[in-house]
Chains A and B, each alone.
Chain A
């Protein structure tokens, strides 16, 4: 029996340098929509539970990318994904290239096989020069990362630290993303 023929999914194209017009229009001075999407990842984040993540995305010349958009997607504090929260849309600063995200720390939950789910935030990145999006994850604990990615079969030991942010207080995190070079971030494909 033949499998039904699948359609080819539409090719990606770069979002270009002016993606803000469509995705974050208020930045360009266009105020026609009811709301800007993904302004906050969760409603009413208390000071107590808030974490702050910031960083830059460096290109192959070690220059911060000033026209990128990052969409983040994560579960709640109990490890559950919900279609009405957990999504944020942030852009890198036109001058400095820095992005900033205020969110909550994603939780762990027990999987059906008894294992504990990993705590991470998905970063989905587009910009001029990127024909396809780049997808990476920010993990909070290296142990989570090892279990989650079943790393025994993969020789990327020396790059695991690219998925872990720097923090001194577990409240403020610096997560830089490097497209090339010695510190090249691990990007995923599914």
Chain B
């Protein structure tokens, strides 16, 4: 069973996927009420600056280092309908490529004005926006040392648990994208492009901030785009 627009679970070029993916095929079953329902989060969990990573952790009057950017777009379903009330959580490294996390071995400095996470709930027209700084690329052990392209992690919770998605947005033109095994684990080359935030010069603020546009499509009840029939177990 292969959905060519979704990554392969086991993709040996990404070393840790070898031991962290099942060897057997998943069991395909019909979705039921447990997949068609889901938790709903409302505006009351959101603070005003939750979607502004340049402000939500910084000291008063200070800013994190790095190029300030907007990342914005629409969340839609497979039919192109805009999805409201989708909780989006993002997290990322600072401008030097360091995460505010006790398990990050990098000796790059933390930015005392940058936490690296944000939250937003899509508006009635499915729109979202974050203000942040461009994250740095960073090395990690894989086939020897490799470099992650600059990226922002996205987590989305829609109205149905079957729509639950965690993904990453990459930046248009980043030369590290081509060799990234996590991106290349997606068999369909065109689908890989869906993960790239496009430079959007129309989105700015006093012409001091770069914009990136990243639309996200959440799947529906039916599983589509099966290239092959089920292989069984």
Contacts and interface: CB of A to CB of B under 8 A. Distances in A.
Contacts of A87: 38-39
Given A13-B167, A83-B39, A84-B40, 15 more contacts: A6-B224, A9-B218, A10-B167, A13-B7, A13-B183, A19-B166, A21-B101, A22-B116, A59-B19, A82-B37, A129-B19, A133-B166, A184-B24, A189-B1, A189-B27
B164 interface: yes
Smallest CB-CB A-B distances: 10 pairs: A22-B91, A129-B20, A129-B16, A60-B19, A87-B39, A83-B40, A131-B7, A81-B37, A9-B219, A189-B26
Interface in B25-39: 26-31, 33-35, 37-39
Contacts of A16: 153
Given A73-B34, A186-B27, A25 B115 contact: yes
A188 B57 contact: no
If over half of B's interface residues share one DSSP class (helix, strand or loop), that class is named, otherwise mixed; here it is: loop
Contact of B91 (A8, A18, A75, A122): A18
Contact of B39 (A35, A65, A84, A186): A84
Given A59-B19, A190-B30, A8 B182 contact: no
A9 B41 CA distance: 22
Interface residues of B, number: 86
Contact of A190 (B31, B38, B217): B31
Interface stretch (B64-72, B171-179, B188-196, B202-210): B188-196
B198 interface: no
